[in-house]
Structure 1
Amino acid sequence: MTSETKPHPRSGHRSAGLSTVVGAAVADALLIMVFAAIGRDAHQRGDIIIGVLLTAWPFLAGAALGWLSFRVWRSPLAVLPSGLGVWIGALAGGMILRALTGQTVVFAFVVVALLSLGILLVGYRLLLAGIRRMGRARGQR
């Protein structure tokens, strides 16, 4: 048992420690903010701080729904189902909320968001999984 996982008191399943859960949630939020900031910069939009927040909030809300729906706190750094759940939540929730609030939702933007959020939200989890695997492989030598 590592310091990152602890047995759940009722089920006995291992669950992530609080610092891992908080770290993953913060990482997801920051990466969504980076996505929004890059998008706004690419379109040369002003009002940097408020603008980024206005662009990011639907995706942040969607990611939060993904966290809840997929119970990401159980294994926040897992690619499946956690990374996939946050990615799909951020994308689908973000686009739905954008549409409901009169913000732009065009096919090209959906594709860019699909790819960008996937690379960011699933990508860091894949990277961490690879690092963990390499560490275990070195430990077996």
Structure 2
Amino acid sequence: MPSPSRLWIPAAITDLLLILVFAAIGRDAHSRGDIISGAFATAWPFLAGAAIAWGLTRAWRAPLVVWPSGVCIWIGTVLVGMILRAVTGQTVVLPFVLVALISLGALLLAYRTLATLLLRVSRKRQRRA
């Protein structure tokens, strides 16, 4: 099984990509055009939130665990993202906050859950061999 020190980079990249996917889907759903550059404009507060959460929780030590790393990154991403959106004059309304909580929670926690399960299966197979 790979060590956490080797997993943090792919986990951080996956978080980045999933946050960009969230932003792109949202822009497309609202017919905002300019999906690629617009996704970055929409995503930057959430990316900053994720980076802050990674740093505060030292998630690189156990990047794929759902608790506490995944949950703290999810909540930090949404919390800081919404604060930064509000401070910069972007829309922050309750329906958007709820959609962001649900969507980013599903994205950021689901892949961690799947990765953890796959790593456990891999470890069991290695022990049998």
Aligned partners of 1:31 and 1:47: how far apart in 2?
18
1:92-131 map, 5 Å:
92-131=79-118
Secondary structure at 1:135's aligned position in 2?
A: helix
Q: Report the residue type matching 2:38 in the other structure.
A: G
Per-residue Cα deviation, 1:4-28 (whole angstroms, up to 9, x for no partner): 22xxxxxxxxxx22x4111111000
Aligned partners of 1:49 and 1:139: how far apart in 2?
42
Matched, 1:37 2:14: no
Q: CA RMSD in A?
A: 1.5
Aligned pairs, how many? 128
- Find the structure with the greater CA-based Rg: 1
Structure 1 unmatched runs, 5+: 6-15
Secondary structure at 1:35's aligned position in 2?
A: helix
Structure 2 unmatched runs, 5+: none
1:56 Cα offset (Å): 0.2
Secondary structure at 1:102's aligned position in 2?
A: coil
Q: Which residue of 2 aligns with 1:11?
A: none
Aligned partners of 1:74 and 1:140: how far apart in 2?
24
The answer to whether the 8 A contact 1:69-1:85 is kept is no
Match of 1:25 among 8, 12, 19: 12
**TM-score, normalized by length of structure 2?**
0.92
Higher strand residue share: 1
Same amino acid, percent of matched pairs: 58
1:4-83 map, 5 Å:
4-5=2-3, 16-17=4-5, 19-83=6-70
Aligned partners of 1:24 and 1:128: how far apart in 2?
10
Higher helix residue share: 2
**TM-score, normalized by length of structure 1?**
0.84
